[in-house]
A = this chain, B = another copy of it.
Amino acid sequence: MLQRLRVKRRAFEGAFMSSPFRRRLELLKFLHREDLIFADRLTRQYEDFDKGRVLLQEGGRLQRTSFVLDGWAIRYKTVRDGGRQILNFILPGDVFGLYALLFDRSEHAVEAITPMTVGSIPATQALDTLTTTPRLGLVLAWMAGRDERILDEQIVRVGRRHGAVRMAHLLVELHVRLARAGLEKELELPLNQILLSDALGISHVHAHRLFRQLESKALIERRGQSVALIDLQGLAELAGFDVHYLTFSLRPRASGPLS
């Protein structure tokens, strides 16, 4: 799998315009040409990270805002007894460290769970960006709002959904988010059972049992260290998935005063 990611990465270098981040920006439509050029400049200088690399530590200084060009990361907090709770997954096209603008230190950690390519800018420069290219600032704000909706749904998932439904719901969400970044063909998610258990708030033994349930219904399949989504429709039905919270819904008038 590592090899496959490398190939993808090279593709971006050749045709940068189609990176997941750029793709996400374009989907929002109301950005002007100069905004996109500016955004490209921000992400032109990127850095590679190995799988397992901790990009940000709990309590660590928060100095940069980052844009994921390729690869997955997790945002998590650890608890007293040693376990950890994954708060959210960071996917290609996502931004993290947005609040570096405002907060001095991070309350959560970020760790790469695949090889990653990420671009970043210093927090101070990000602040300038917001004032000089307000449309782009609006996009960042939109992404922050979207993140909050995803967190809301994670609370519902962990608080009110049980068993296989809880797992299925997460898998569908991740697929929809990938699709939004132009990766709709990506049906193999780099998730092992430990990651799933940390994200769903269950033990790894139980994660294995739920995993088996979905597998026995021919909804998913295990492939090495990742999960293949076999029957998306079936997963979505089982999970009672309502895509609405992930749907593009930028307020029509919002672009008015700024464009």
Q: Please indicate the chain B residues that have their CB under 8 angstroms from the CB of A201 in the complex.
A: 158-160
- Which of chain B's residues have a CB closer than 8 A to the CB of A249? 103-105
A128 and B251 CA atoms in complex are apart in Å by 15
Partner of A160 from the list B79, B123, B155 (CB cut-off 8 Å) is: B79
A224 at the interface (CB under 8 A from B): no
Partner of A254, one of B101, B141, B257: B101
Whether the pair A83, B160 counts as a contact (CB closer than 8 A) is yes
**Chain B's nearest CB lies how many Å from the CB of A166?**
10
Instruction: Identify the closest chain B residue to A165 (Cβ).
Output: B80
Q: How far is the CA of A147 from the CA of B155 in the complex (A)?
A: 14
Q: A77-B152, A103-B251 are in contact. Are A128 and B257 (CB under 8 A)?
A: yes
Expressed in whole angstroms, the minimum distance between the Cβ of A173 and any Cβ of chain B is 13
Which of chain A's residues 205-254 have a Cβ closer than 8 Å to chain B? 240, 244-245, 249-254
Q: Is A154 an interface residue (CB 8 A)?
A: yes
> Nearest Cβ distance between residue A184 and chain B, in whole angstroms?
23
**Is A141 a contact partner of B257 (Cβ separation < 8 A)?**
no
Of A107, A128, A250, most buried by chain B (CB within 10 Å of CB) is A107
A259 within 8 A of partner (CB): no
A131 lies within 8 A of chain B by Cβ = yes
Residues in chain B near residue A149, CB distance under 8 A: 107
A144 within 8 A of partner (CB): yes
A158-B161 contact given A107-B149, A138-B102, A147-B148, CB 8 Å threshold: no
User: A77-B156, A84-B160, A85-B160 provided; 4 other pairs, C-beta below 8 A?
Assistant: A62-B251, A77-B152, A107-B245, A151-B151
Contact across chains for A152 and B151 when beta carbons are under 8 A apart = yes
Q: Are A148 and B145 in contact (CB under 8 A)?
A: no
What are 24 of the A-B contact pairs (CB < 8 Å)?
A: A62-B251, A79-B240, A87-B155, A87-B156, A99-B145, A101-B254, A102-B141, A102-B254, A103-B145, A103-B249, A104-B249, A104-B250, A104-B252, A105-B249, A108-B152, A124-B257, A127-B254, A141-B141, A144-B144, A151-B152, A154-B155, A158-B159, A158-B201, A159-B200
Instruction: Tell me if A49 counts as interface (CB < 8 A to partner B).
Output: no
The CA of A121 and the CA of B144, in the complex, are separated in Å by: 21
Closest to A257 in B: B127
